[in-house]
Chains A and B, each alone.
Chain A
């Protein structure tokens, strides 16, 4: 099973709303990632969790707050977003190894629109 699931598929929120994106994988991967992707651009790394600990935060504004409740789940809490935060938010997972077997698999993404 190489599936990463994400909910919701689409999200429209106002700038004062609080919402959460959810991601789940059952591949036994111990690294999980959040990416932001704008149209015609490559995925832009936001956060990396390794063994449920935050290992990378790519200077992401505090209105984005990640959480890794266990080895299978990853959340992204959103608060006071701006219209420019509208994008496709991608979750991915892999093994945290630098050699082979570190293939990264993506979920289907959440299309976020901030009004």
Chain B
């Protein structure tokens, strides 16, 4: 049984701070890792993909992957109230079909 674990939160951070979202996975053959942002009542939006160990930066977002420790994280710098959403971690391994975590609710307060 492949598992993807996320703390459901909510994670509350002040505006301008760094938000750190974490995800662990159980399947050692996992190859592809994704972060989705989902606003309340809307569909998930892909914001980051990462495939290799290390960091990948895109604007205010940085994804970090550590395959040895089986975790992937998402850092959001200079957090804005508009970043308030649920962040879903998804992982694929031997199959192309992703396994989703339960999501972490992020609240950025002014």
Chain B residues with a Cβ closer than 8 Å to the other chain, count: 25
Q: Are B94 and A98 in contact (CB under 8 A)?
A: yes
- With beta carbons under 8 angstroms apart, the residue of B34, B44, B96 that contacts A96 is B96
Contacts from A to B (Cβ < 8 Å): 31, 33, 41-43, 45, 48, 56, 88, 90, 94-100, 102-109, 111
Q: Are A98 and B95 in contact (CB under 8 A)?
A: yes
Contacts from B to A (Cβ < 8 Å): 31-32, 34, 36, 41-46, 49, 51, 88, 90, 92-98, 100-103
Complex Cα distance, B99 from A48, in Å, reads 13
Task: Report the minimum CB–CB distance from A28 to chain B (whole Å).
Answer: 15
CB contacts (< 8 Å) of A109 on chain B: these are 42-43
Closest to B49 in A: A103
CB contacts (< 8 Å) of A41 on chain B: these are 102
- With beta carbons under 8 angstroms apart, the residue of A31, A48, A106, A111 that contacts B44 is A106
Q: Are A104 and B34 in contact (CB under 8 A)?
A: yes
